[in-house]
Structure formats: structure tokens, C-alpha cells
């Protein structure tokens, strides 16, 4: 199955290594990146297994901030990764059909997601969304539930769309 990712890589080996060792390339809010297409099933599996272990050494407890590790419960885990969220609706032809264009596309990073990678089930990566944050800067003063919302420097409300590709 084809897979699209940010083109911070040059081929499957770099892709696998970036998953396994967490890429040291800075991905910045608002910047545009090209995607790289191709069948990355093998490198994805290898990279995830290298990162979390095979079988995984840390497990999801069902509580964010409480992960079972070989040393007991911990508030951190090697299974937690940060992934950029990009604006797929800003990609011509994607919305509303949900079909990513064939070939390379250019996408804009609009936020980041913290994800707990549980491991693999067949060719599928099993993961839990921990949190998601927008690249927006904090809006006006106020506090509490009625406080200012997140806005970008232009003052417009910015939401972070999250599209689930596949559910269990």
C-alpha cells in the first residue's frame, strides 16, 4: 500500500532509521514540505520494531502519563513520538474526497501530535493519540473556559484537523 510522508528522507532505509532513532531534522510550524511516495510497509515495520522493541518493552496502561516499563510505572516512555500534522485540505484534490494525490505533494505543518506507539499487528501500526497541539499562537487575555482562543498571527481561528485513517 502506498504511504505518504514528509520528504525528510532519501529512500526506505532513511525512513526506517528516522522512525527507529527519531529524526534529528527540525520540522517547523508553518513550513511547507514535499511528500515522498512509495511502499514503506517494510521500513515502517522495521523502524517501529527498532524503536519500541520486538516485542515492545513498554505498554499502554490506559492512562496518559502512566506507562508500564521494564522498571515499573513511568510518566515517560520510549514509545512516545511526536509527529507533524499537516494541512491535507490545503492539498489540491484531497478534500472532500479524502484521496491523497498520486505522486509528490506539498503540505504545510499546522501542528504536532504526541503518539504512543504500541507496536504492530500484521502490517498495521497500533498507536494511541496522547495529545495534539496547533501551531497557532495563544490568543487574547482571558482565562478559564471562556478565555481567548488559539489564533495565528493573522488573527484567524486555527483548528487542527485530525483524520483517522483506520480504526480497529
- Would the pLDDT of 21 be above 80? yes
Q: How far apart, in Å, are the Cα atoms of 75 and each of 20, 60, 63, 80?
A: 21, 11, 10, 11
Domain that holds residue 31: 5-151
Whether 159 is in a domain gets the answer: no
Q: Is 21 helix (H, G, I), strand (E, B) or coil?
A: helix
Whether 162 is in a domain gets the answer: no
Write the DSSP assignment of 52-76 as a string of letters. Answer: HTTTTSSEEEEETTEEEETTEEES-
Residue 83 near residue 133, CB atoms below 8 Å:
no
H or E element, residue 33: strand 32-36
Whether 165 is in a domain gets the answer: no
Overall residue count recorded for the chain in this entry: 168
- Would the pLDDT of 48 be above 50? yes
The reported pLDDT for the residue numbered 168 is 41
List beta partners, residue 133: 112
Residue 133 near residue 121, CB atoms below 8 Å:
no
* Least-confidence region, from 29-38, 50-59, 93-102, 124-133: 93-102
Whether 160 is in a domain gets the answer: no
The average pLDDT across 8-31 equals: 79
The reported pLDDT for the residue numbered 35 is 77
pTM attached to this predicted model:
0.72
Whether 76 is in a domain gets the answer: yes
Whether 10 is in a domain gets the answer: yes
The reported pLDDT for the residue numbered 71 is 94
Q: How many domains does the chain have?
A: 1
Per-residue pLDDT tens for 89-141? 777 777 766 676 677 778 888 999 999 999 999 988 999 999 988 887 654 43
Question: Going by DSSP bridges, is the β-strand pair 59-63/124-134 parallel, antiparallel, or unpaired?
Answer: unpaired
Q: What angle do CA 44, 52, 13 make, to 5 degrees?
A: 30
Per-residue pLDDT tens for 74-89? 999 999 998 888 877 7
Whether 166 is in a domain gets the answer: no
Whether 93 is in a domain gets the answer: yes
Amino acid at each position: 500500500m502506498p504511504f505518504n510522508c514528509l520528504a525528510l528522507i532519501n529512500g526506505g532505509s532513511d525512513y526506517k532509521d528516522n522512525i527507529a532513532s527519531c529524526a534529528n531534522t527540525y520540522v517547523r510550524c508553518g513550513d511547507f514540505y514535499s511528500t515522498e511516495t512509495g511502499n514503506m510497509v517494510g521500513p515502517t515495520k522495521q523502524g517501529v520494531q527498532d524503536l519500541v522493541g520486538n516485542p515492545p518493552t513498554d505498554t499502554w496502561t490506559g492512562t496518559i502519563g502512566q506507562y508500564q516499563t521494564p522498571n515499573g510505572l513511568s510518566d515517560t516512555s520510549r514509545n512516545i513520538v511526536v509527529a507533524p500534522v499537516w494541512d491535507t485540505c490545503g492539498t489540491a484534490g484531497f478534500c472532500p474526497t479524502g484521496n491523497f494525490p498520486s505522486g509528490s505533494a506539498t503540505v504545510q505543518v499546522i501542528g504536532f501530535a504526541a503518539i504512543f506507539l504500541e507496536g504492530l499487528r500484521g502490517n498495521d501500526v497500533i498507536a494511541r493519540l496522547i495529545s495534539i497541539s496547533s501551531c497557532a499562537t495563544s490568543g487574547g487575555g482571558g482565562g478559564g473556559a471562556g478565555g481567548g482562543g488559539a489564533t495565528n498571527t493573522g488573527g484567524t481561528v486555527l483548528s487542527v484537523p485530525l483524520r483517522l485513517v483506520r480504526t480497529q
